[in-house]
Amino acid sequence: MNQPPMFWLIDIETYDYDVGFLQGGDLEGKALIISSQLWSIIRGTQVFSILIGPGIFRGKVTKGKMNIDVQEFISCLMFDPTKLRLDEPLPQVDIVNPEVIDPLGTGKREEIVTLIRNLVIERGNVLAGDRLATVQTETSIPETAYYEEVFKRINVSHISGQQRAKFILAGTNGPMYRPFAEHYNKRGFINYERTKVMATPFSKFAGFVDIEVMSDWQIVEKAGYDTKTGIEAIGDEYNNVLDQIKRNEEKFIYSA
């Protein structure tokens, strides 16, 4: 269960949402969160999915003629897996094809064998096994076009996870990643009890210690060896992710 944390980039679109300063609006945007995996949590008959770790949501809330930018630093993204973006009339989260980046992944070299077909055009009488065409005018030497096939060994270099993360986050995701990195450097994520949870099943940004939203959940994947539940269990996982980020800050936090 000691999975290294990864960046998750997920599109979100949800309705009748409470963003604090505006209630009942339509919320749309993208979340960036560092989580070791996609967890399942269960409470009674409710089963939700959750990403746990420092993150940010950036988007817009619309209500009537109002259209307001929203940016919230978050510690969890909780959603109902039965209300996925592609299948439900009231979409919430697009977890079907999320962008997941492992910045701790190492670059590697791979040797492959490939068949290369070169198009060759020669003048004169040519013995060609794979002849395409021969052209000759009344006054010129004939020209023959054919394919020459060669097997070659090629070394392919794969970029490291850190290089891939920098490339993806520094581009169109830069306006979201830069505030996240700045907030981290200001120690804004150090105390999870002061952070926000993006709880789409509850249609609000809740406090981490919100009893209604956070209490009594069992993390399904940890049920066999961890008896903690609710705020304590989720808080422990949050701190585990934060500790791993601190040990590998150069892989996760940089100037985008």
Which of 31-45, 102-116, 126-140, 149-163 is predicted with the least confidence, judged by mean pLDDT?
Answer: 126-140
Average model confidence (pLDDT) for the chain? 86
From 196, 217, 215, 227, select the one nearest 46 (Cα to Cα).
Answer: 217
What pLDDT sits at residue 151?
Answer: 73
Highest mean pLDDT among 58-62, 88-92, 153-157: 58-62
What pLDDT sits at residue 91?
Answer: 60
Q: Average pLDDT, stretch 145-160? A: 72
Res. 62: pLDDT tops 80: yes
Highest mean pLDDT among 91-95, 132-136, 191-195: 191-195
Res. 83: pLDDT tops 90: no
Residue ranges of the domains in the chain?
A: 6-104+159-252, 108-157
- Residues 84 and 102: their CA atoms lie apart, in Å, by 24
Q: Average pLDDT, stretch 49-77? A: 95
Which of 35-39, 95-99, 112-116 is predicted with the least confidence, judged by mean pLDDT?
Answer: 112-116
From 200, 213, 203, 219, select the one nearest 93 (Cα to Cα).
Answer: 200
Question: Considering just the CA atoms, what is the radius of gyration of the chain in Å?
Answer: 27
Q: Average pLDDT, stretch 191-220? A: 95
What pLDDT sits at residue 156?
Answer: 64
Res. 1: pLDDT tops 60: no
